[in-house]
Amino acid sequence: MNLFKAIVAKLISLVLFVIMSAMVRYVSETVPLGQVVFFRSACAVLPVVVIYAWRRELTAAVVTRRPLGHLGRGLISVCGMFLNFAALSRLPLVDATAISFAAPLITVAFAALFLGERVRIYRWSAVAVGFVGVIVMLWPYLDFRQFGAPGAAAASATIGAACALLGAITNAGSVVQTRRLTETETTSSIVFYFSLSCAVAGLATLPFGWVMPTLPVLAALVSIGIIGGLAHIILTSSYRYAPASLVAPLDYSSMIWAFLLGYAMFGEVPTVYIFVGGLIVTASGIFVIWRERQLRLRRNLEVKGPPNIS
């Protein structure tokens, strides 16, 4: 275990993901959603292929014993990517990022429902408190009377908030499916088939109207895919050096980068609802991570038995 390397790799991946999200928000003003999804996924394959070929793991990325499992995860991930990008196109960057933090809390519920994991009252309580935070963040978007009001900006933001929440749900489903796949599949194959599935889905939207992007927008589209692919690989590498429970709390530092980039690029200033709700969700998420780590340590101790002091 190398905690320093794990922390550095995780922080770099988080910064890259936020940069990618900011670029998605930038291009979404002129480029159809499906076209953005295609570039995000297709261009991400390039760094995946290059890096895994360099590691001599390319064969492991292609070979699979569970094609249907990859297909299922691909379908969930495709829905999640479309929803997340739709949210980014309609919401301030920090709002979309904050709402996405509901995903770890939803994962706890899904793990109990679909994986049969035993979830005790402590984690259920944290999930309940976390959803109070989600409601606080969503509160400004819950006035449905705005759909009948003149002007589409407020209604569009409400749709964006709904997409962000649904995206968090699909992200949690993707995590659950990934846990199933890791029983037999390599990390490289999971990353490769994820990118391939989303690229095919994005390409399928071609008949619905793509646009010829300007050179700066084209550069941004290509960068979205390359940055996303690199971020995914670096994120995976961070878990090579330390257990996920140690580095997972760093996810919430994304709020800082989202605030800085959102303000610098788009002049966005988060509301008090985002600050308060984000703090509640962050605290709940960190408690869930801490609790899972404590339970894992306890299980390991039970398996190994008490220390021999004779």
Q: How confident is the model at residue 236 (pLDDT cuts 50, 70, 90)?
A: confident
Q: How confident is the model at residue 164 (pLDDT cuts 50, 70, 90)?
A: very high
Distance between CA 124 and CA 113 in Å, rounded? 13
pLDDT above 90 (res 178): no
Lowest mean pLDDT among 2-6, 12-16, 155-159, 215-219: 2-6
Q: What digits encode the pLDDT tens for the residues 293-310?
A: 777 777 667 666 555 544
* Average pLDDT of span 215-221: 95
**Please, are residues 104 and 285 in contact by the beta-carbon 8 Å criterion?**
yes
Q: State the pTM of this model.
A: 0.84
pLDDT above 90 (res 211): yes
pLDDT above 70 (res 145): no
Distance between CA 309 and CA 248 in Å, rounded? 35
Cα–Cα nearest to 98, from 287, 309, 285: 285
Q: Pick the residue with more confidence: 108 or 23?
A: 23
The three-point CA angle 145-153-265 to 5° equals 145
Distance between CA 243 and CA 139 in Å, rounded? 35
Q: How confident is the model at residue 201 (pLDDT cuts 50, 70, 90)?
A: very high
Cα–Cα nearest to 226, from 43, 28, 42: 43
pLDDT above 90 (res 177): no
Q: Pick the residue with more confidence: 146 or 290?
A: 290
Q: State the pLDDT at residue 310.
A: 42
Neighbours of 137 (CB within 10 A): 26
Burial (Cβ within 10 Å: 0-12, 13-18, ≥19) of residue 77? buried
**Please, are residues 217 and 30 in contact by the beta-carbon 8 Å criterion?**
yes
Q: How confident is the model at residue 171 (pLDDT cuts 50, 70, 90)?
A: confident
Tell me phi and psi for residue 22, to 5 degrees.
-65, -40
- How far are the Cα atoms of 20, 45, 168, 261 from residue 76, in angstroms, in the given order? 20, 19, 11, 28
176-183 long-range Cβ contacts below 8 angstroms, 24+ apart: 176/107, 176/110, 176/111, 176/114, 176/115, 177/69, 177/72, 177/73, 177/76, 178/73, 179/111, 179/115, 180/69, 180/115, 181/66, 181/69, 181/70, 181/73
Cα–Cα nearest to 109, from 173, 193, 153: 173
Q: What digits encode the pLDDT tens for the residues 37-90?
A: 999 999 988 887 888 788 887 787 788 888 888 888 889 989 999 999 999 999
Q: What digits encode the pLDDT tens for the residues 77-123?
A: 899 999 999 999 999 999 999 998 888 888 888 878 877 777 778 88
Q: Pick the residue with more confidence: 186 or 206?
A: 206
Distance between CA 113 and CA 118 in Å, rounded? 9
Q: Pick the residue with more confidence: 275 or 240?
A: 275
